[in-house]
Chains A and B, each alone.
Chain A
Amino acid sequence: MSFYWKMEKSKFINSVAVSLSLLVFATEASATLSLTADLDSRYENTNFKDSEVKVEALGFSLKKVFADAQGDRLVLFTLVDAMDNFRDVMVDQGYIQYKGPMGRWNVILGRYIVPFGLLPNYSSKRLLVKTLEYETVGLNSDSGLQVSGVIRDFDYAISLSQGTGVDRWTDIDNEPVVSFRVGRQGADYEDVRVGLSGLWGKVMPDKIHSNMHSPVYKKLLAIDLIKYHGPMVVRAEVTAGEENRRFLNGVFLGTDYAILPKTDLNFAYTHMETTGHRTDAITAGITYNVFAGFQIRVAQKFSLRGDEDVSSFQIYNIITRTF
Chain B
Amino acid sequence: MYRLFKSTILLLALFSLLPGPCQAQEVYICVWTNPERTMTRIFPQARDYRTVTKKISPQALKTIEDRIQSKLLPGQRETYQYYEMLDDRGNHLGYILAASQKGEYGAIEFVFGIGLDFTIKGIYIQRARERDTEFKKPEFLEQFIGKNIKDADTMEIGKDITAKNTIGTAAVVSGVKKELIAFEELATRE
Cross-chain contact A101 with B47 (CB below 8 angstroms): yes
Cross-chain contact B51 with A289 (CB below 8 angstroms): no
- State which of B23, B40, B50 has its C-beta within 8 Å of the C-beta of A71: B50
Stretch of B5-13, B142-150, B179-187 lying at the A interface: B5-13
Report A-chain residues with C-beta under 8 Å of the C-beta of B127.
Answer: 189, 228
In the assembled complex, B130 has its CB within 8 A of some CB on chain A: yes
In the assembled complex, B95 has its CB within 8 A of some CB on chain A: no
Report B-chain residues with C-beta under 8 Å of the C-beta of A305.
Answer: none
Cross-chain contact A322 with B90 (CB below 8 angstroms): no
In the assembled complex, B1 has its CB within 8 A of some CB on chain A: yes
Q: Which of A58, A190, A316, A319 has most chain B Cβ within 10 Å? A: A319
Given contacts A261-B104, A320-B22, contact A230 B133 (CB under 8 A): yes
- The smallest beta-carbon distance between A71 and chain B, in angstroms, is 3
Given contacts A150-B36, A185-B34, A294-B16, contact A67 B51 (CB under 8 A): yes
Given the complex of chains A and B, what is the CA–CA distance between A319 and B12 in angstroms?
12
Q: How many interface residues does chain A have, given as a range?
A: 35 or more
Report B-chain residues with C-beta under 8 Å of the C-beta of A32.
Answer: 51-53, 81
* A-B CB pair tally, cutoff 8 Å: 161
Q: 0/1 per residue, B41-64, Cβ < 8 Å to A?
A: 100001111111101000000000
Report B-chain residues with C-beta under 8 Å of the C-beta of A321.
Answer: 20-21, 78
Cross-chain contact A231 with B130 (CB below 8 angstroms): yes
- The smallest beta-carbon distance between A61 and chain B, in angstroms, is 10
Cross-chain contact B128 with A317 (CB below 8 angstroms): no
- State which of A103, A188, A293 has its C-beta within 8 Å of the C-beta of B24: A293
Report B-chain residues with C-beta under 8 Å of the C-beta of A315.
Answer: 12
Stretch of B25-33, B155-163, B170-178 lying at the A interface: B25-33
Report A-chain residues with C-beta under 8 Å of the C-beta of B4.
Answer: 1, 53-55, 85
Report A-chain residues with C-beta under 8 Å of the C-beta of B50.
Answer: 30, 67, 71-72
Q: 0/1 per residue, A279-317, Cβ < 8 Å to B?
A: 000000001010111110000000000000000000111
- The smallest beta-carbon distance between B80 and chain A, in angstroms, is 9
Cross-chain contact A187 with B51 (CB below 8 angstroms): no
